[in-house]
Amino acid sequence: MNTALFRRCVNDRRRSMLWWGAGVLLLSLTYMLIYPSIKEVFAELDEFPVEILEAFGLQGISDLGTPEGYLTAELFSFTAPIVVIVFAVALGVSSIAGSERSGEMELLLANPISRATVLTQRFAAMLVLTLLLGAAMWIGLAAGIVLDVWPEVSHWNLAEQVFALVLLGWAFGAIGLFASAASGNSGMSYAVVGALAVASFVLNSFTQIVEELDPLKWITPFQYYSGSTPLADGLTWWHPLVSLGIAAASYTAGRYAFERRDLK
């Protein structure tokens, strides 16, 4: 299979990828450096009612004073998902709708290349670039293990936590790809995926504190990201499969829509 389009897509984003990677690495190192000075403060948060903590996606964390509790509360419950989702969605939307708006898609499809190939290779580029962003985060946080800031954290569990984050980005990035492939409109695609991400996060938070809403948590992508505690206990084995299924289904639907839509 000719992967020239995939390589071109990755190459075109190498400069922005360096900036994103450096930013995520710096973010991770910052959280590592401030942990020793605030870990006692986080230990006091264990006195908060569990319902309040769960509303912020901190279910399953028994001790916020530990590195696992600190990283889950400060980084992986809110900040990291925002960064990775924004990154992946921007790649997914720009892959199709962005190219149509710039006129690149018209020139690209004038060559002997199918729409399916264009979408597939750009989808693959989104997956690889998001994985590289996750690797930058893992490197920054793993430095805390090497430097004895949190030596009790497992390299493997940290990798599982970051991988769960990458899977969340893949799911929403693929949804962004589908929205742009189906509409050809960047603005509408960003709005739809943004609204879906916010609604999913809010609904997942409410399901933790409102017993009647508990069954609805299974329809939110965030449940398969934050419904387990990878840093402390490892991933629930089937949660990644659901996230991958969301990404695969969105890719398939996007390919079907893109192949049949009149391009702008």
Q: What is the CA radius of gyration of the chain?
A: 20
| Residue 221: pLDDT band with limits 50, 70, 90 | very high
217: which 2 tokens? 């948590």
pLDDT in tens, 3-28: 999 999 999 999 999 999 999 999 99
Q: Per-residue pLDDT for 225 more than 70?
A: yes
| Residue 160: pLDDT band with limits 50, 70, 90 | very high
Mean per-residue pLDDT, 80-96: 97
Question: What is the pTM assigned to this prediction?
Answer: 0.93
Give the pLDDT confidence score for residue 239 in this predicted structure. 96
| Residue 247: pLDDT band with limits 50, 70, 90 | very high
